Amino acid sequence: MQDALPAFVLSSEAPRTVMNDSPANPQPRTEAPTPCDEHPSDEKLMLAFSQGSAEAFSELFSRYKQPLFGFFRRRLADASCAEELTQETFLVLLRSASRYEPRALFRTYLYAVGFKILRAHRRKTIFRATFVGVRRASQDPATHDSPDANLAIREAFAKLESTEREILLLREFEQLSYAEIADLLHLPLNTVRSRLFRARLALHNILAAPTPQTVAAKLAEFEEHA
């Protein structure tokens, strides 16, 4: 991921603070970070950005550029496409900052935006493949440059049911809580727990299953000692 996005967009798209003499909304809100706040939360930073702080957005970009790129890269074959969608997600964040309300964790909000962009990208890819004749790229991460162990894991992930695969990715790689996953995927909390257990069990069984190579090796070993 390149670091150019904040410098490219902040000068023209950072939200401006609107001056208003009317009383502020009395609803409780997360306070913006103060100068003595050395490690402000993501939520405080996003609130500060929504009020016009370019520095707050730069800090959020620094914190989440790699995790968000990894989120897309694990779901797409093309690294350049993953980078493009990462930047698109941050652009959406920029454009909608004035409407931000800290109702949930910032990362839940961020990945929800990422999911919408990913779904739109997949719909566009399907449309192009169906009606324009553009060959559809695999939605799974590229595997041609992966070591054998990583390749086996990626192939095993690809065999999981789609929802269970998504739950497992969100839990193991994005490290989201059960509640965050339930919120993102619009599933009951108990469903997330049970399907995560099933996904882990299925992945274990797939990885433990003998491959043609291991079977051939066992047969050769048996014939050698027969």
pLDDT digits (tens, 9 = 90+) for 140-185: 454 444 445 567 777 888 889 999 999 999 998 888 999 999 999 9
Q: Which long-range contacts (CB under 8 A, 24 or more apart) does 87-93 make?
A: 87/5, 88/117, 89/113, 89/114, 89/117, 90/5, 90/9, 90/61, 90/65, 91/5, 91/9, 91/13, 92/117, 93/57, 93/60
Would residue 199 count as lying in a domain?
A: yes
Residue after which a domain boundary falls, among 111, 133, 155: 133
Euclidean distance between CA atoms 108 and 146, whole angstroms: 30
Instruction: Kindly report the average pLDDT of the chain as a whole number.
Output: 77
Specify whether 120 is located in the same domain as 159. no
What's the whole-number mean pLDDT along residues 69-74? 94
In this structure, what CATH number is given to the domain that contains residue 85? 1.10.1740.10
Residue 187 belongs to some domain of the structure: yes
- Establish if 220 belongs to a structural domain: yes
Q: How far apart are CA 91 and CA 10, in angstroms?
A: 10
How many domains are contained in the chain?
A: 2
Q: What percent of the chain has pLDDT over 70?
A: 65
Residue 110, token pair as written in the block: 């961020």
Q: Are residues 112 and 66 in the same domain?
A: yes
Which range marks the domain in which residue 190 is found?
Answer: 146-226
Q: What is the pLDDT of residue 86?
A: 96
What 3 state SS string does 87-146 have?
HHHHHHHHHCHHHCCCCCCHHHHHHHHHHHHHHHHHHHHHHHHHHHCCCCCCCCCCCCCC
* 20 — pLDDT class (breaks 50, 70, 90): very low
Kindly report the pTM of this predicted structure: 0.69
CATH number reported for the structural domain that contains residue 176 in this entry: 1.10.10.10
Does residue 24 fall inside a structural domain?
no
Q: Tell me: do 10 and 53 sit in the same domain.
A: yes
Write the pLDDT tens digit of every residue in 175-197: 899 999 999 999 999 999 999 99
169 and 218 in a common domain = yes
| Count of C-beta atoms within a 10 Å radius of residue 101 | 12
Q: Is the pLDDT of residue 1 over 70?
A: no
162 shares a domain with 59 = no
Indicate if 95 and 47 belong to the same structural domain. Answer: yes
Residue listed under structure tokens 């909608």: 96
